[in-house]
């Protein structure tokens, strides 16, 4: 995937005349402006939504979820987990930087002939493929390399998610309902069956997803329906030990329902055209192919942003909103369900900055590295 993106970026930069031309055209088109500093959460990409909302979203998606925890636990030590996160963060920043630069190259190539306005591309998600065919289409094998890189990255993430989903369903839903424990062969068959069922379900959802708008905002908003409550549950678990499980369940359900309502209404409004985000100016003056000029002029000059409301909430704020709702409702629910007995709380499960609020006990502080070491020694003994 990295090679595919770099090939498009390098060849595209060379075709337009170099890095200076790419930056000059983007500066003239207003594409190098920084996000505005505003407290308005309905601004799609503000500085606060990118820094605060985006950070909380990546913390949940990269750290506080079943897929990441499953990977961390497969490592032999705590130091290996830290090194893994460091390498992952560096590569993620590099990948996002390459994708951002690929967007700059796309505008530099199509600065005077917008393919979306002329209907050469029906959605902005098609621009990378269109740019790839324009820059690498004449080189044998490279278009296939690009497609293979995209599909390999997508299938890697999909397979990991399906495996984690199968493990969670088997361990937390199926096994508690069985009177007799499953054999190893039965468990393996059940896991594979779950993966197959959900795999075909994902394939069947393709026709629905393609009608719901751009992929990245869609993925961020729909995933936030569960990410927000999970972020709140994790925060309460490590930082608010006096909140009981029933209160957390109440808060997570409330958070899930609120986010599901907002996300569903927002997606439906985008499909119907009721939500229209502001656009930067584009041009079709340099197009060298035929197109419907009346349609293009109506698309460019007849477009106007819609009035903002709660459903215009930036998709980067969804995870943060869900976490805040979960925490607040859980604390309010604790007034009804009561508070947890802190005398029974294991201090090792609480973040160090919150241990001062626990009852004083005579216990030894154990470092995370020692816990991993003890785990490895226990496995070796068995």
Q: Do the Cβ atoms of 225 and 256 come closer than 8 Å?
A: yes
Name the range with the highest mean pLDDT among 57-61, 160-164, 320-324, 341-345.
320-324
Q: What is the pLDDT of residues 189-223, one digit of tens each?
A: 888 888 888 888 877 777 766 666 666 666 666 77
pLDDT above 80 (res 272): no
Q: What value does the mean pLDDT take over residues 297-309?
A: 74
Q: What value does the mean pLDDT take over residues 367-377?
A: 63
pLDDT at 180: 83
Residue 317's CB: how many other CB atoms inside 10 A?
A: 24
pLDDT above 70 (res 367): no
**What percent of the chain clears pLDDT 90, i.e. is strictly above it?**
5
pLDDT at 250: 92
Which residues are CB-contacts of 24 (< 8 A; sequence separation ≥ 6)?
A: none
pLDDT band, very low/low/confident/very high, at 329 (cuts 50, 70, 90): very high
Q: What value does the mean pLDDT take over residues 267-281?
A: 77
Which residues are CB-contacts of 127 (< 8 A; sequence separation ≥ 6)?
A: 106, 110, 115, 116, 121
pLDDT band, very low/low/confident/very high, at 240 (cuts 50, 70, 90): confident
Nearest to 109 by CA among 134, 126, 142: 134
Torsions phi, psi for 267 (to 5 deg): -65, -40
pLDDT at 363: 56
- DSSP reduced 3-state for 358: coil
Nearest to 60 by CA among 173, 244, 288, 224: 224
pLDDT at 9: 87
Name the range with the highest mean pLDDT among 72-81, 285-294, 299-308.
72-81
Q: What value does the mean pLDDT take over residues 218-237?
A: 80
pLDDT at 216: 64
Q: What value does the mean pLDDT take over residues 234-250?
A: 87
Torsions phi, psi for 136 (to 5 deg): -115, 0
pLDDT at 368: 61
Name the range with the highest mean pLDDT among 140-154, 289-303, 327-341.
327-341
Helices (H), 206-360: 206-209, 215-239, 245-272, 293-301, 318-337
Q: What value does the mean pLDDT take over residues 214-238?
A: 78
Instruction: List the helix and strand counts (H, then E) for the chain.
Output: 16, 0
């Amino acid at each position: 995937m990295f090679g595919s993106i770099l090939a498009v970026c390098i060849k595209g930069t060379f075709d337009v005349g170099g890095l200076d031309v790419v930056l000059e055209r983007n500066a003239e088109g207003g594409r190098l402006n920084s996000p505005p500093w505003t407290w308005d959460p309905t601004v799609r990409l503000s500085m606060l939504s990118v820094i605060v909302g985006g950070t909380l979203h990546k913390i949940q998606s990269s750290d506080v979820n079943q897929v990441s925890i499953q990977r961390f636990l497969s490592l032999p030590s705590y130091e290996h987990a830290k090194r893994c996160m460091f390498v992952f963060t560096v590569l993620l920043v590099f990948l996002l930087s390459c994708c951002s630069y690929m967007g700059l190259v796309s505008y530099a190539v199509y600065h005077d002939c917008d393919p979306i306005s002329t209907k050469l591309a029906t959605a902005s998600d098609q621009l990378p493929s269109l740019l790839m065919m324009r820059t690498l289409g004449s080189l044998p094998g490279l278009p296939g390399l690009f497609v293979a890189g995209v599909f390999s990255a997508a299938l890697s993430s999909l397979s990991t998610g399906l495996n984690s989903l199968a493990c969670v369903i088997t361990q937390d839903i199926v096994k508690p309902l069985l009177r007799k424990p499953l054999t190893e062969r039965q468990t393996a068959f059940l896991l594979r069956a779950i993966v197959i069922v959900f795999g075909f379900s994902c394939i069947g959802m393709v026709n629905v997803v393609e009608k719901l708008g751009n992929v990245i905002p869609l993925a961020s908003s729909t995933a936030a329906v569960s990410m927000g409550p999970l972020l709140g549950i994790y925060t309460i678990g490590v930082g608010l030990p006096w909140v009981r499980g029933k209160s957390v369940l109440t808060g997570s359900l409330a958070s899930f329902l609120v986010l599901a309502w907002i996300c569903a209404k927002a997606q439906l409004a985008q499909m119907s055209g009721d939500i229209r985000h502001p656009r930067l100016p584009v041009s079709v003056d340099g197009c060298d192919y035929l197109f419907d000029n009346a349609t293009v002029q109506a698309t460019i000059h007849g477009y106007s942003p819609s009035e903002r409301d709660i459903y215009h909430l930036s998709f980067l704020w969804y995870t943060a909103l869900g976490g805040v709702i979960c925490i607040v409702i859980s604390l309010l629910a604790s007034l009804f369900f009561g508070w947890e007995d802190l005398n029974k709380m294991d201090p090792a499960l609480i973040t160090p900055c919150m241990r001062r609020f626990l009852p004083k006990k005579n216990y030894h502080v154990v470092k995370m590295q020692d816990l991993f070491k003890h785990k490895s020694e226990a496995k070796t003994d068995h």
